[in-house]
Amino acid sequence: MTTTTNGEPRSGAAPTASATARLDRIPVATRSHRRWAVLLGFLFSFDLIDLNTFAYVAPRLREQWGLSLDAVGVVTSIGFAGMFLGAILGGRLSDRFGRRKVLLGAVVFYSTFSLLSALSFNAWQMGVTRFLTGVGLQAMTGVLLVWVSEMYPRALRGRYQSWILVLGFVGVPVAAWVSRLVIPLSTESWRWVFVVGALGILGVFVAARILPESVRWHAAHGREDEALALVERLEKEAVARTGKDLPPPLETAPVPRARLADLLTGRNRRRLIATSLVSIFLILCFYGFNSWLPTLLVENGYTQSESLNVTSWLAAAAVPGALLAMPFIDRFDRRMLLLAIESVVAVLLLAFGVVDGGAALVLTGFLATMLLQCGVAVQYTYIPEVFPTPLRGLGAGIATGFGRLAGVIGGVTVSWIYTAFGFTTVFVYLAVMALLMGLVLVVLGERTTNRALDDIGADDPPAAPGAATPKRSTQ
C-alpha cells in the first residue's frame, strides 16, 4: 500500500476536489459501509414487521370485535393514508434538516404508535394508531432509501440496497411466524404482535452513535468540511482494503439550489410521474396480495390456521427474493430488469388465482412473492437515484407517497372485487398491476445503473448532435 510521508494512506485526492467527487471515486464498500448496512437492515426489518402486523391480526379482530370485511379494508386504508403523509413529510424534512435526524426520529415515532396499537380496544382506536404508525413507517423507509443512494459507491448502490432489503425482509417471516405462534394462544394475545413491532426503537441507540449524516446532504448545504472529514475516513478504509491508490476524482457540475417548483418542470416532472406511477402499481399489486391474502384465504374456505400456515410459507420468500436481485441489479438496465421480473410475476399471480390444493397454492404464491420482493429491490434502488440532491428526499417521498395513497384505494378495491366477482378475479387484477409496474419505467424512465447521482439528477437539455461534451475537471 502506498503511503504519504507522514504514514497516512495515499488517497490520490487533489487538494481542491469536492467531497462528492471524492466519494464517487471510492470503488469498494468499506468497513463503515458494511456496518451501516447491518444497522439499516435491522431498522428496516422492524419497519416491515410493523407494516405487516395488522394483516396478520385482522382475522382475529374480525372475530373478536365483529368487524366486517369492509371495516378491515378501512383500517388498512387508513394506515396507507398515514404513509402518504409520512412519505412527503419525511422527504421534505430530510431535505431541509438532514437525512440522519429524520430517519432516527421516524423510528422512534412509529415504534411508539405501534406500541399504542397493542392497547386498542376498538376499530376506531386501531385506525388512529395505525394512521400515525404509517406516518413514521414511511418517513423512515423513504429517508433510508435516499441515505443509501447517497452514501454507497455508485457501482454498488443496487447491491447494497438489495443487501439491506435482505436483512430487512427477515422481518416479514418474523411477523408471520410470531403471529402464527402467538395469536392462537388466547383471545388477547394478538396484542403482543404489535409489541414486537415496536422493538425497532432499540436500533436507534446504536444508530445515534455510528450513523453519520449524508455526505451529499452536507455538501448541498455548504458544509463541505463535515463532508470532507467523513469522506477522508472512507478513503482510508478503501485504501486499506484494496491496498491500492484510489482513482482520481471526476468533478461534475456543482449542484444548483432548487425550489420546490423545480420538481414540476423539465426532466424532474417526467421523473416524478414515472416514479409515482411505478410506486402506485407496486402498492396496488404487492399489498393487494400480501395484506389481503390471510383474510381472502379464510373467506375462500380455508381455516384461520391453514391461512396463517400458507402465508407463513409465502413470507419466507422475502429474503431469497432480495438475494435474487443482487447478481443483476448493478449489471443490467434497471428498467428492463424490472419489466422482465414483473412479467413473470403476472403469470404466477394468474396461476395462484386458479390452482387448487395447498401445495400448488404455496408453490405459485412463494414464487410470486419472491419475484415481487426482487422487483422491490430494483424499484427502491431506482426511485431516489433520479432526483437532484436538494430535492431527492421530497421527490422520492412524493413518489412513494402516491404509492401509499394508492393503498387507500387499493384496500377497498380488493374488497370490492372479491365481493363482486370472486377470488380468481382478484388475482387477474393483481396480475395487471404487476405488468403495468414493469412497463412504466421502460416507457417513461431513464437509465441509472452505474451512473453518478449528480449526472443522473442534472436537468440539462440533451446536447445538440455533434456538440462537444464538456470535459470533467479532476480538480
Would you list the domain boundaries of the chain? Answer: 21-225+234-245+260-457
Render pLDDT for 432-464 as a digit per residue (tens, 0 to 9).
999 999 999 999 999 998 888 877 766 544 443
CA distance to 134, 276, 326, 441, per residue, from 445 (Å)? 28, 11, 21, 4
The answer to whether residues 206 and 39 touch, using CB atoms and an 8 Å cutoff, is yes
> Any long-range contacts for 295-302 (C-beta under 8 Å, 24+ apart)?
295/55, 295/58, 295/59, 295/62, 295/69, 295/72, 296/414, 296/418, 296/423, 296/426, 298/59, 299/69, 299/418, 299/423, 300/423
Contact by Cβ (8 Å): 410, 206: no
Residue 257 has a pLDDT of 67
pLDDT surpassing 80 at residue 57 = yes
By the 8 A CB rule, do 106 and 139 touch?
Answer: yes
Q: Are 282 and 330 in contact (CB under 8 A)?
A: no
What is the value of pTM for the model shown? 0.81
> Amino acid letter at 158?
G
Vertex 395: Cα angle to 108 and 127 (nearest 5): 45
pLDDT in tens, 207-238: 999 999 999 999 888 888 899 999 999 999 99
Distance, CA of 15 to CA of 216 (rounded, Å): 18
Question: What pLDDT is recorded for position 441?
Answer: 93
Q: How far apart are CA 289 and CA 365, in angstroms?
A: 9
Q: Please list, residue by residue across 438-464, b when 16 or more beta carbons sit within 10 angstroms of its beta carbon and e when fewer do.
A: bbbbeeebbebbeebbbebbeeeeeee
CATH number of this structure's domain 21-225+234-245+260-457, picked from the four choices 3.30.70.940, 1.10.10.10, 3.40.50.300, 1.20.1250.20: 1.20.1250.20
| Summary count for the chain: helices (H), strands (E) | 20, 0
As a whole number of angstroms, the distance between CA 290 and CA 372 comes to 10
User: In sequence order, what are the residues at sequence separation of 6 or more whose Cβ sits closer than 8 angstroms to the Cβ of residue 292?
Assistant: 55, 411, 414, 415, 426
- Residue 291: which of 116, 48, 118 has the closest Cα? 48
- Using one digit for the tens of pLDDT, what is the confidence trace for 247-291? 887 776 666 666 777 888 888 899 999 999 999 999 899 888 877
